[in-house]
Amino acid sequence: MLIWIAQVILFDFVCFKKQDDEDGIPDMIDDICKRYFQQMAETPFGHILQWRLYLFAASKTNMTKHQARWSLDKETINYRGVELRMEHVSQLVASEFREAHSLLYDELLFGMEDIAPIEAWRLHDDLDLDDYGASWMTLERNSEILTGTHDALLRRIEGKAALGRVFVRPDHHLSQHHDGGEIRLCPKAMAIYEAHVQEFLKRMLTLIQVPAGPPLRSPELLTITYANTGVRRRSVLMWEKMVLIHVRYHKSQERTGTERDNIRFLPPAVGSLLLTYLAYVPHLRQVFLRQSKPGALLSPYLWSKPDGEVWEDHTVSSCLRRACARAKVPQFQVAWWRQVAASITKEKFSGKEQANFGLGEIAASEEVEEEAELAFLAGMSNHSFQTFNHSYAGSTTLTTTNILHRAYRASESWRTLCYVMLCYVMLRYVMLCHVMLCIFFVRGAVGPESPLLGHRTC
């Protein structure tokens, strides 16, 4: 921080001194830096820079104080006093999926039995859509599948008497001034519905943060949008019949320089829950919002409140802790899970698989090899490499393709690990049931005509 502040002060000072001679600014900056702002200078900032280099070098060889430790069977990890078995991860995901599924279909969709889940393999998407408010839901090619979704829940309220009694109230104030039955929506019912929405989103947070891949940072996760805004593209996309989450972040805290891409592919069942929610629920939330704020627009941020306020960073850890409590597994927060996920990656995946998880840090040799191949292709097309790389179907397309492929392989590896752990949990459950049944037989709890079997056992 001191170095950044000093650089800003230096630049401001030089600009002031050379305001009548802008061409002299670079030379003056260079002269001052050589005298005061370089590692060999015997100045206060020279010593600061020397210690900075020393600390960087020491940090690469010094082991951290707290280390994750694995059991001999490689199934239990202990980090900072919290012991987590691999089966706990699948137990957590299964628990939150059941909760989210129940909230979506029973509460948010009002138990409608004729609603078909929205699945990625049936839909189309354009990753290059730039229009404000655009998403996969605005594409003409998806209109047949999404027909009627925008007002399905409102029609459900109007068509079902029980829901009508809950949500619809006569507006006595308006009926005094107008003939006919003026109605309004019940504020209490809308508030309860919104509470269910927030609870569903809390479950989805865990389902996106845990089984899709190594966890995102809280600020990254909460920037997810499902529609384009005025300054950024949406985060929820579809590619190769799968739902992907694409967020961008800065590697350094000063938030300068190029943003890095962070991509996660959701498991199909989780992706279907998210798409079904987005196809139906935001439309009704928009109607509810305009009851109190006419003309207001719902926020495009996935984790936001009706007034547009995005969840605070600490909410992510809070959601994870509560999810763990519901699943009856050891409780953890984002920082702990990020450390453990990194250890799981190193322990459970081969070196080749691990390379897919560091999407922003490609090995230099691999980069050079790809660069050489591109340069050769540029020569074949009779373009300079720079023109070829930036102007013709360009570097963005090629780079994005590489990142998407790596992200898919990383998510697939992580999802496969979670699936194996889930199968392990189910196998243990089946074995336990078998053992219990044998115990009942031995102790005579299951007789020759036991209703548990429905027929004679002899």
- 76 three-state secondary structure: strand
Cα(348)–Cα(212) distance, integer angstroms: 16
Parallel, antiparallel, or unpaired: how do β-strands 82-85 and 76-79 relate?
antiparallel
Is residue 383 predicted with pLDDT exceeding 70? Answer: no
pLDDT at 66 over 80: no
**CB crowding 82-93: b at 16 or more within 10 Å, else e:** eebbbbbbbbbb
Query: Among residues 350, 356, 372, 368, which one has the least CA distance to residue 405?
Result: 356
SS3 317: helix
Q: What pLDDT does residue 438 have? A: 60
Which of 410, 422, 218, 402 has the alpha carbon at shortest distance from 320?
Answer: 218
Q: Which token pair is 448?
A: 């020759």
Mean pLDDT for the stretch of residues 113-142: 94
**What pLDDT does 2 receive?**
75
Lowest mean pLDDT among 163-172, 339-348, 356-365: 356-365
What's the pLDDT band for 439 if we cut at 50, 70, 90?
Answer: low
Phi then psi dihedrals of residue 84, to 5 deg? -125, 125
Confidence of residue 395 (pLDDT cuts 50, 70, 90): very low
Residue 33 has pLDDT above 90, yes or no: no
pLDDT at 71 over 90: yes
Highest mean pLDDT among 17-21, 60-64, 347-351, 425-429: 17-21
In the predicted structure, residue 248 carries a pLDDT above the cut 90? no
Tell me the C-alpha distance between 103 and 113, whole Å: 14
Of the candidates 314, 358, 129, the residue with the CA atom closest to the CA atom of residue 205: 314
Question: Between the CA of residue 414 and those of 156, 332, 360, what are the distances in Å?
Answer: 39, 19, 18
Beta-bridge partner residues of 249 = 260
At residue 184, the 3 state secondary structure works out as strand
The answer to whether residue 127 scores a pLDDT higher than 80 is yes
Burial class (CB in 10 A: 0-12, 13-18, 19+), 39: middle
Helices (H), 268-394: 268-292, 314-327, 334-348, 351-355, 364-380, 385-391
Confidence of residue 442 (pLDDT cuts 50, 70, 90): low
What does the chain come to in residues?
Answer: 458
Longest dimension (CA), the chain: 106
Average pLDDT, the chain: 81
What confidence score (pLDDT) does residue 319 get?
A: 97
| 363 pLDDT higher than 50 | no
Find the range with the poorest average confidence among 200-209, 243-252, 369-378, 397-406.
369-378
Chain position carrying tokens 């009627």:
148
**Top-confidence range, 14-18, 349-353, 403-407:** 14-18
Confidence of residue 261 (pLDDT cuts 50, 70, 90): confident
CA distance 284 to 298: 10
- Report the pLDDT value the prediction gives residue 399, as an integer from 0 to 100: 57
At 260 the pLDDT is 80
Q: For 257-274, give the DSSP string.
A: SPPEEEEEEPPHHHHHHH
* pLDDT attached to residue 298: 96
Q: Is 289 exposed, middle or buried (CB count within 10 Å of its CB: 0-12, 13-18, 19+)?
A: buried
Pinpoint the alpha helices (H) of 108-181: 143-146, 152-159, 161-167, 172-175
* 264-268, 327-331, 347-351, 418-422: least confidently modelled range: 418-422
Rounded distance between C-alpha atoms, residue 290 and residue 185, angstroms: 11
More confident position, 451 or 145: 145
- How far apart are alpha carbons 64 and 59 in whole angstroms? 9
> pLDDT at position 140, please?
96
How far is Cα 231 from Cα 248, in angstroms, rounded to an integer? 13
- Phi then psi dihedrals of residue 304, to 5 deg: -145, 165
**Binning pLDDT at 50, 70 and 90, where does residue 434 land?**
low
For the range 334-340, what are the long-range contacts, defined as Cβ-Cβ under 8 Å and sequence gap of 24 or more? 334/209, 334/215, 334/217, 334/218, 336/79, 336/80, 336/82, 337/209, 337/210, 337/215, 338/214, 338/215, 338/217, 339/68, 339/79, 340/68, 340/77, 340/79, 340/84
pLDDT score recorded for residue 62: 60
For the segment 83-97, the average pLDDT, to the nearest whole number, is 94
The pLDDT, as a whole number, for residue 441 is: 52
In angstroms, the Cα distances linking 44 to 37, 41, 138 are 9, 9, 59
Q: Would you state the pLDDT for residue 53?
A: 78
Looking at the chain, the whole-number percentage of residues with pLDDT higher than 70 is 75
Average pLDDT over residues 254-283: 87
Q: What is the pLDDT of residues 139-197, one digit of tens each?
A: 999 999 999 999 999 999 999 999 999 999 876 554 444 444 456 899 999 999 999 99
pLDDT at 418 over 60: yes
* Cross-strand partners of 225: 301
- pLDDT number for residue 374: 46
In the chain, what are the domain boundaries? 2-61, 69-348
- How much is the pLDDT for 61? 65
Structure confidence at residue 349 (pLDDT): 82
